[in-house]
Chains A and B, each alone.
Chain A
Amino acid sequence: MSAPGGFLDYGPDAIIMAGLTGSNWRLADYVARGGYSALRKILTERIPPTTVIGEVKRSALRGRGGAGFPTGLKWSFMPQQYQGDKYLVCNSDEGEPGTFKDRDILRYNPHVLIEGMAIAAYAMGCGRGYNYIHGEIWETYERAEEAVAEAYAAGFLGTDILGSGFSFLLHNHHGYGAYICGEETALLESLEGKKGQPRFKPPFPASFGLYGKPTTINNTETFAAVPWIINHGGEAFLNLGRPNNGGTKLFSVSGDVARPGNFEVPLGTPFATLLDMAGGMRDGRKLKACIPGGSSMPVLPGDVMMQTDMDYDSIAKAGSMLGSGAVIVMNDTRCMVKSLLRLSYFYYEESCGQCTPCREGTGWLWRVVDRIEHGQGRADDIDLLLSVSDNIAGRTICALGDAAALPVKSFIRHFRDEFQHHIDHRQCLVPAYI
């Protein structure tokens, strides 16, 4: 649990967040916890980059940023023989509603990220790296700046790291209020000093990334898992979780729970356990619905959730996605139309505006949900919402279009009655929503 300044308890199985007090974030503390030993080992033993990548592959580490792409595989896409600059980018632009885990890594354990990035840079031959930090967490950005400065001073970053001949220049870059920059190619555009508008893929960043050079982008938590994997072996990491779902995962639990916060648990942990860790439902209310992977993922009814384990494959089987691991919990007083309205407004507000279906469609969705919520719904509005969602999903440059469509479709799929009630009776089905 992350009460400001207090004792941090991310759960008994935490590896990335183990032993953190909130004030032991400095380099000396990290080194005292055994930090930078993985990097040191690789550099002093001159472990070949391909071996490092092989270890990450064995760990079955999947990207923690949302898509769950196998990290080792992604790293192997980087052209090893490429002559010229290659870049490594960390995506700390955490802005997916419900997600607040990367901030804790950055402010309470920044060096684990730096070490993870240095190892990744070594494995892929990247000379420069950037950590793109969400603009709203300015104090965390400042801490990340301090941590990077410490790492340079201690020789864990810079030229000829630990006398190995390997050089890696890492810098922090802050956003300034644009959710879309979490999308990796928008992030690259933003790093180049432009509007954060996603690029059409292909080409993928591994061949045409930052400044047109080969680039790998991973989430903060993805990099943060790497030192442990190197120290304990990929096999051990895999064994923490489930096949194809290696390791632990930080879940940000928010909404109608007693103790919202981050919990690092092995993948495959039952949702019920996670809910318990978060203190259970606030005020003993009944669980009505849960979005298990951040606002862009389909909502699931509470009873389905209670049967589901928290790993990529199980949640997919249940009809949603693990996404960024943001678990938004809603109790039985919540109006699903009103909840969707707020999400739809978010996507409307955050669409970058370049591609037609998203630019025009997100506003349309929001306006229709808005009129349903406000008792102005029309008989065919539910079908209209579904049709407009279908017309956005899969037809946009980036996945924000899908992210806007999926909540609409899933809210209607599971809670159609509530929408219908709003339209028919011009009022809410839920007696007393807050």
Chain B
Amino acid sequence: MTMLSPEALKKIDREVAKYPPGHRQSAVMSALAIAQDEKGWLAPETMDFVARYLGMPPVAVYEVATFYAMYNLAPTGRHKVTVCTNLPCALQGATRAAAQLKERLGIGFGETTPDGAITLREGECMGACGDAPVLLVDNKRMCSSMTPDRLDALVDELKAVGGADGK
């Protein structure tokens, strides 16, 4: 019963190889990220699979998945948009950007648009404050200096890309 694709397993193996023998557990964060990229979120079966794959107690995997903010423990929209609203960003327009997103999408933080396109999240410092407003799309793509126009363009893009079949 393989829960992840061979490509995903290959990626995980590459991560495992970074650590000394006997320390497969060190790869759990990347394994979960890879699993999430493939599945969209971390279902209990997925975490259980990762646990077995790395030889960890499942609850230890669960601990990790719930400790780090970028793991999705429930399905999200096709895209997840995380806005940093921390103080430096807030001073540079993040509050306005967040408000614009909420209004345009018609949802609050932690919610998903009715069409299932976008889940909006509030994030903490991303280490990119100079480029505020910054937001993260699907954990991996950072969008910087988000003026109102660029925000609108991004929303258009995200609503269009992927379509009904998701990503």
Which residues of A are at the interface with B, using a C-beta cutoff of 8 A?
A: 2, 4, 85, 94-100, 102-103, 128, 130, 134-139, 171-179, 190-196, 211, 252-256, 260-262, 295, 326, 328-330, 334, 339, 342-343, 346, 349-350, 352, 434
A253 to B131, alpha carbons, bound, how many Å? 11
B128 and A176 contacting across the interface, CB-CB below 8 Å: no
Greatest chain B CB density within 10 A among A139, A173, A191 is at: A173
Identify which of residues 5-25 in chain B touch chain A, using a CB-to-CB cut-off of 8 Å. Answer: 18-20, 23-25
Tell me how far the C-beta of B27 lies from the nearest C-beta in chain A, rounded to whole angstroms: 7
Residue of B nearest to A85 (CB): B20
- Would A193 and B132 be within 8 Å (CB), given that A128-B20, A434-B95 are in contact? no
Query: What residues of chain A lie closer than 8 Å to B141, measured between beta carbons?
Result: 138-139
**Chain B interface extent, by class:** 35 or more
Q: Is the pair B60, A94 in contact by a Cβ cutoff of 8 Å?
A: no
Q: Which of B32, B64, B85, B144 has the most CB of A within 10 A?
A: B64
Give Cα distance in the complex from A139 to B140, angstroms: 7
The answer on a CB contact under 8 Å between B90 and A342 is: yes
Given A173-B29, A176-B32: A192 touches B63 (CB 8 Å cut-off): no
B29 and A260: CB pair below 8 A? no
Chain B residues in 8 Å Cβ range of A434: 95-96
Q: Chain A residues with Cβ under 8 A from B28's Cβ?
A: 193
Whole-angstrom distance between the Cβ of B59 and the nearest chain A Cβ: 11
> Besides the contacts A2-B130, A176-B33, A343-B86, what 7 more A-B pairs have beta carbons closer than 8 Å?
A100-B128, A134-B126, A136-B139, A177-B69, A177-B123, A193-B28, A254-B88
A178 to B127, alpha carbons, bound, how many Å? 12
Flag if A254 contacts B56 (CB, 8 Å): no
Contact A137 B130 (CB under 8 A): no
Note all chain A residues with C-beta closer than 8 A to B26: 173, 191-193
Docked-complex contact B130 and A97, CB < 8 angstroms: no
Q: For A211, what are the chain B residues with a Cβ–Cβ distance below 8 Å?
A: 20, 23
Instruction: List the 7 closest pairs (A to B, CB-CB), nearest first.
Output: A177-B69, A193-B25, A177-B70, A136-B126, A254-B88, A171-B18, A176-B68
B144 to chain A, nearest CB (A): 6
Cβ-defined partner of B29 (8 Å) among A95, A175, A352? A175
Do A262 and B130 have beta carbons less than 8 Å apart?
yes
Chain B contacts of A330 at CB under 8 A?
Answer: 91
Query: Can you pick out 21 interface pairs between chain A and chain B where the beta carbons lie within 8 Å of each other?
Result: A4-B131, A85-B20, A100-B128, A100-B130, A137-B126, A176-B33, A176-B70, A176-B71, A192-B23, A193-B25, A193-B54, A194-B25, A195-B67, A196-B68, A211-B20, A255-B87, A260-B131, A295-B88, A328-B91, A330-B91, A339-B87
Asked if B142 is at the interface of the complex by the 8 Å CB criterion, the answer is: yes
List of B residues within 8 angstroms of A137 by Cβ: 126-128, 142
Cβ–Cβ < 8 Å partners of B32 in chain A? 176
Contact between B142 and A136, CB atoms less than 8 A apart:
yes
Contact B125 A261 (CB under 8 A): no
Please tell me if B124 contacts chain A, counting CB pairs below 8 Å: yes
Question: B residues 141-166 with Cβ under 8 Å of A?
Answer: 141-142, 144-145
CB of B46, distance to nearest CB on chain A (Å): 15
**Nearest Cβ on chain B to A246's Cβ, whole angstroms:** 25
Q: Are A193 and B27 in contact (CB under 8 A)?
A: yes
CA A325 to CA B155, docked complex, whole Å: 34
B30 within 8 A of A: yes
Q: How distant is B55 from chain A, measured CB to nearest CB, in Å?
A: 11
Q: How far is the CB of B99 from chain A (nearest CB, A)?
A: 11
Which residue of the partner chain, among A135, A173, A334, A342, contacts B68 with CB atoms under 8 Å?
A135
Which residues of A lie under 8 Å from residue B117 when comparing CB positions? none
**Contact check: which of A135, A193, A342, A349 meets B70 at CB < 8 Å?**
A135
**A330, B144: Cα distance in complex, Å:** 21
Q: With A and B bound together, what is the CA distance between A343 and B123 in angstroms?
A: 13
A100-B127, A254-B129 known; A194+B87 contact, CB < 8 A: no
Supposing A85-B20, A255-B88, A328-B87 touch, asked if A196 and B67 sit within 8 A by C-beta, the answer is: yes
* Shortest Cβ distance from A139 into B: residue: B142
B130–A261 touching, CB < 8 Å: yes
Interface contact B136-A136, CB-CB below 8 Å:
yes
Report whether B29 and A174 are in contact in the complex, using a CB–CB cutoff of 8 Å.
yes
Contact: B18 with A175, CB < 8 Å?
A: no
- Contact code string B41-57 (vs A, CB < 8 Å = 1, else 0): 00000000000001010
Residues of B within 8 A of A190 (CB): 29
Is B88 in contact with A192, judged by CB distance below 8 angstroms? no
The digit string for B79-102, where 1 denotes a CB below 8 A from any CB of A, is 000000111111110011000000
CA distance A339 to B54 in the complex (A): 43
Most chain A CB within 10 A, of B86, B88, B140, is at: B88
Contact residue among A135, A174, A194, A253 (Cβ-Cβ distance under 8 Å from B60): A194
Contact A178 B67 (CB under 8 A): yes
> Which A residue's beta carbon lies closest to that of B128?
A100
CA gap between A137 and B126 in the complex, in Å: 7
Residues on B with beta carbons closer than 8 Å to the beta carbon of A176: 29, 32-33, 68-71, 139
Q: Which residues of A contact B85 (CB under 8 A)?
A: 342
**Complex-state Cα separation, A243 to B141, whole angstroms:** 42
The smallest beta-carbon distance between B118 and chain A, in angstroms, is 18
Q: List the B side residues contacting A138 at CB < 8 Å.
A: 139-142
CA of A171 to CA of B17, assembled, Å: 10
Cα distance, A295 to B20, chains bound together (Å)? 36
B92 touches A260 (CB 8 A): yes
Q: Which of B20, B69, B132 contacts A178 (CB 8 A)?
A: B69
B130 touches A193 (CB 8 A): no
Residues in chain B near residue A177, CB distance under 8 A? 68-71, 123-124
